[in-house]
Structure 1
């Protein structure tokens, strides 16, 4: 009879356990600010640009144009993102943060920092740097580029 490995013998099991806990706690924190993790990632991507077409944002985040459009619709309705005509193409539009959206990004970033500190503060600086380096290496080797929002 074949040997059946135990769940906790798999690195993926432990990675998923920690990832779920980190993600769920962060989702709870940002929900207190009336945004989702996906909306936060969208806003953070817009924070460094004055205005951008949805297609470039989709490419940057590794998402479909449809997903970007749905997120934009939700954030426009919340008054955190605005659409404006694209000066180079009157058929297209650009997205940018509103003043309220721009003001909210640093607050949400501090929640992300706090969440990381809570979960990874148990590691030494060297352990944390090694973990980051290993995870980035795995992501790079697998060609993972999309922003994790689920």
Structure 2
């Protein structure tokens, strides 16, 4: 399992690196994609990361022009993180890379095999109570 996991992850990391982001940055951007804006604390909770890790990722993505920080309307000291238009345009590109990466690795399986693997992995997620996608 580890060999497959590492191969899939490393291949995907190379693909997103060609787009100028890391896997953790992609995961951050994907988490913001469905929301107009999110407080760093809420994003940290959603991603299962520390507030410090979120802050570092936000710094990197802001420097790349992919996210912006705005003042919270309800908390003068708080921030709201959101994608810039460039960041919002990049997410579907990265999502296609993720899908292509999955197809590269799992497309060699028959439909029945993919369904069985999906069922087993979902059972592990459920039974282990996994709620966030690791992003390191």
TM range, smaller chain? over 0.9
Given the two structures, how large is their TM-score scaled by the length of structure 2? Answer: 0.96
> Which digits, 9 at most, give the CA deviation of each residue in 1:26-64, with x for residues without a partner?
000000000000000000000000011011111111111
Contact 1:26 1:115 (8 Å CA) reproduced: yes
Equivalent-residue separation in structure 1 for 2:97 and 2:63 (angstroms)? 23
Q: Whole-Å Cα distance in 2 between the matches of residues 40 and 124 of structure 1?
A: 29
Q: 1:93 aligns with which of 79, 90, 108?
A: 79
Alignment of 1:45-84 (within 5 A): 45-84=31-70
Aligned pair partner of 1:27 in 13, 37, 40: 13
Q: TM-score, normalised by structure 1?
A: 0.87
Structure 1: which 5+ runs fail to align?
Answer: 1-14
Q: Encode CA deviations 1:58-101: one digit per residue, 9 max, x unaligned.
A: 11111111111111111011100000000011110100000000
Aligned mates of 2:58, 2:115 — CA distance in 1? 34
After TM superposition, give the deviation of residue 142 of structure 1 in Å. 1.6
Unaligned runs of 5+ in 2: none
Please tell me whether residue 102 in structure 1 is matched to residue 88 in structure 2: yes
CA RMSD of aligned residues (A): 1.0
